[in-house]
Amino acid sequence: MATRGSNNRSLACLLAVALMVVTIYGAQARGTAATRESGEVSPVDLGAKFDGTTDDTRAWRLAIAEALKATYGSVIKVPAGRSLVSESLVIPLTGNKSLAVRGAGADVSEVVWTKPVDGIRVDFKDNATNSRDAFATGGKFSFEGVSLIQGAPFVKLATSADTPSGNVLHFASTRGLAVGMYVTSYLNAAKIPASATITGISETSVTLSENVTGDVPAGTVLSFIHITGSALTINGDSNQRFGLESPELYIRDTSIHGFSGGDLFTPGGSWLNGIVCNNQTVVRIDGAFISFSRCGTVGTGITIRGTYPTHLADDHHLTNIKVLFGDVGINLGNGDPGFEGLMVENSSLVGCNRYGVWANTNNSITDQLTVTGCHINAGHAAFKVNGMTQVGLANSFVIVGAGAGLGAQAVGFDFKNVNCFALTGNLLQFDPKNAGGGWGIIVDNDKGWGDKDWSSTISGNEFLTPATGGMWFRNYAANILVSGNTVATGGTPVAVDATASIHFADNLFNGVLYQVGYPTFPPSQDAHNLTLPPGTRPE
């Protein structure tokens, strides 16, 4: 027979079990609050399905709002699956707040935009007048393990009437089209210019931005693609005075796809930009794959720019970056002198229609660009640099000329107003299908740039089969040592024009090693430091 003590113990055990059950179920019921308290929140906690069919926009916005309630920072956890979003996601970071977005891995955690809008936009906004906090730490944003996909639909239509010339195409219906959509055709079925977009729409016709270059017969099938917006934009607008730590941006293990919904013959929507950093002082990007629609020739992989003098983009490091197709791989400065410093390592910029790296700081004098160990394949120029002070390009494999267009000239290294550079150990090869000719390197400095006391070096490079010439030094290009290079060209190995002054030492031009110089020079000249006067074109 049970005693009173044993009954009490049994009752106590039952109460403990009941209390445990209530606690567990209560914690589950309060899961969102518990997540908030621990510094993590997930869109799934707030209703997102990640099933590839449900619009999760509202849940994402709620998750962002919850994460920003934390005093200093929080983490948005992104599970495996595919989440559909129909609007831009804006993340305002004020003061010293920080936020991390962490997924299960690129191409495991996917976010797909079903409309042609910007993807994610982060706005750093510092309202402080002196410092962000007692330790001057500044805000931070990190993004890793997530894919951003432009899934805006494309429209296919067949022309209903012949178009012998002009820029108006006729269709039975223009439903689904929008101004700004990119127009493309396949296998030269229609002579549509590569940059043509829709500028006007009626019920049965569209007006293009450019005239067609040949007959477009009735029944020609065309695709109209949405190309717009940026996948990930970070706007820095923070106090960057001396003694204060600037906001930081860290991106890793990220994929950005600009062609979801189609392939080479059935294109979907496409981003106009992959990653854009405006006025962002400290940027680290490690392991980002950015691809655009192969059907189009637009799209910039990474854009970095700063507004001088209020903001400077001065500490950027890109590692293991791959940009596939599009127009420009990496765009620096965008014509603004606020850009200051970038290093690119072990990266691949392939299939760029125009430029692999385009650096234009509007003749600034405080900037640095270093590129090493990269593979670059571009149509018009692997590197187009305008108005920069210090440039170092080393140990990279470069191919230019592919897809440059009939009659277009390609240039491996196109330098304008670059007065201190080192070009060492690079292999440059021209695409054999390029019919427009081209130069291995062009250095063209205006007065006031090249005639400074800066010095530059072109050493240990190979320039293989540029159709027009190997090296062309123009205007005030000066104080450049050219040594130990190999040039193989059917054109002019070296051209020195105007007031340029170049020093040559032990180069192999078209299979001939020039150690003593050229017969037209006095024998008293230094055999290993040969200066070619203006107008010289050694053959």
Residue 18 is predicted with a pLDDT of: 47
Q: How many residues does the chain have?
A: 539
Secondary-structure class of domain 155-225 per CATH: mainly beta
3-state secondary structure of 5: helix
Residue 24 is predicted with a pLDDT of: 40
Domain limits of the chain? Answer: 72-151+228-358, 155-225, 379-539
- Reported in sequence order, the residue ranges of 309-437 that DSSP labels E, i.e. its strands, are 315-324, 328-332, 341-345, 348-352, 355-360, 368-372, 375-378, 381-388, 390-394, 397-400, 410-418, 421-424, 427-430
3-state secondary structure of 34: helix
Residue 119 is predicted with a pLDDT of: 96
| DSSP letters spanning 149-210 | EE----EEEEBSS-B-SSSEEEBS--TT--TT-EEE-STTSS---TT-BEEEE-SSEEEESS
How far apart (Å, rounded) are the C-alpha atoms in residues 407 and 416? 22
pTM: 0.86
DSSP 8-state code for residue 219: T
Residue 404 is predicted with a pLDDT of: 57
Residue 15 is predicted with a pLDDT of: 47
3-state secondary structure of 64: helix
Kindly state the tokens that stand for 239.
């106090």
Tell me: the pLDDT tens digits for 455-512? 899 999 999 988 889 999 988 888 888 999 999 998 888 888 867 778 888 889 888 8
Kindly state the tokens that stand for 354.
């125009």
Question: Other C-beta atoms within 10 Å of 187: how many?
Answer: 6
How far apart (Å, rounded) are the C-alpha atoms in residues 524 and 508? 21
Residue 520 is predicted with a pLDDT of: 38
On whether the CB atoms of residues 536 and 477 are closer than 8 A, the answer is: no
Residue 189 is predicted with a pLDDT of: 67
Q: Is 430 exposed, middle or buried (0-12, 13-18, 19+ CB in 10 A)?
A: buried
Residue 265 is predicted with a pLDDT of: 55
Residue 23 is predicted with a pLDDT of: 44
At position 248, the amino acid (one-letter code) is E
On whether the CB atoms of residues 205 and 183 are closer than 8 A, the answer is: no
Q: Residue 145: which of 217, 14, 252, 8 has the closest Cα?
A: 252
The residue ranges of the chain whose pLDDT is under 50 are: 1-4, 14-15, 17-38, 128-134, 239-243, 261-262, 406, 516-528
